[in-house]
Amino acid sequence: MNIGIIGSGNVGGTLGRRWAGNGHRVVFASRDPGSEKTKKLVSEAGANARAGKPSDAAASSEVILIATPWDAAEPAVRAAGSLSGKVVIDATNPLLPGLAGLAVGCSDSAAERIAKAAAGARVVKAFNTVGANIMSNPVFGGGKVAMFYCGDDAEAKMTVGGLIAELGFEPLDAGPLQQARVLEPFAMLWISLAMRYGYGREIGFELLRR
């Protein structure tokens, strides 16, 4: 699969490296594809990765991951050009400064705003509920970390469910895109436990069933 990564911080970098390692062709989007940071990322990700302008990353990929800070997400989506028909994975969280909470939610979500900004795109919310360290390895002894995803396009969700499963998560369909209104606060729970309330970043949730 051709995967474009918009936002190559911890989350975008980790997922891009792992997907490239799994054999997907990954384009790391950068306004300056020749920058040292981008070159380093591409070299770490190996032969399946390259750098490109955001519009190039978007045009050449069936699947585009948005993993920028929230305040950069809507401008980045617009800078990418038309995403109509693309599978867009929204991994952002609309965090307030100092991780004080969420700037969007309950009656709205970052994902719904992304979907509005990316007219025609098949947006799936995913990869927002744990830190990049868990994305590196979501297996804890006998337990598998749950990765929820939600969206309004069944085929796009199947694609994203596969990308989740291949990284070792348990992919869990949480319903339509509007469910981002609960998945974004769920991310805030992980973030606040990990960063503020003493649990540290090596935590994750497993869904138990009986």
Rounded CA separation 15/132 (Å): 8
Q: Contact between 185 and a second copy (CB under 8 A)?
A: yes
Q: Contact between 174 and a second copy (CB under 8 A)?
A: yes
Q: Identify which range of 11-19, 22-30, 66-74, 194-202 contacts a second copy by CB under 8 A.
A: 194-202
Q: Contact between 154 and a second copy (CB under 8 A)?
A: no
Nearest distance from C-beta of residue 157 to a second copy, angstroms: 12
C-alpha neighbours within 13 Å on the C-beta side of residue 165: 9
Q: Identify which range of 2-10, 42-50, 84-92, 143-151 contacts a second copy by CB under 8 A.
A: 143-151
Closest CA to 180 of 206, 148, 134, 132: 148
Nearest distance from C-beta of residue 187 to a second copy, angstroms: 9
Q: Contact between 97 and a second copy (CB under 8 A)?
A: no
Rounded CA separation 125/112 (Å): 9
Q: Identify which range of 28-36, 66-74, 113-121, 199-207 contacts a second copy by CB under 8 A.
A: 199-207
Non-local CB neighbours of 148 within 8 Å, separated by 6+ positions:
125, 126, 129, 172, 173, 174, 179, 183, 186
**Region of residue 162 (phi > 0: left; psi between -120 and 50: alpha; otherwise: beta):** alpha
By the criterion CB under 8 A, which residues form the site for a second copy?
A: 101-102, 104-107, 140-143, 145-146, 148, 172-175, 178-179, 181-186, 188-189, 192-193, 196-197, 199, 202-210
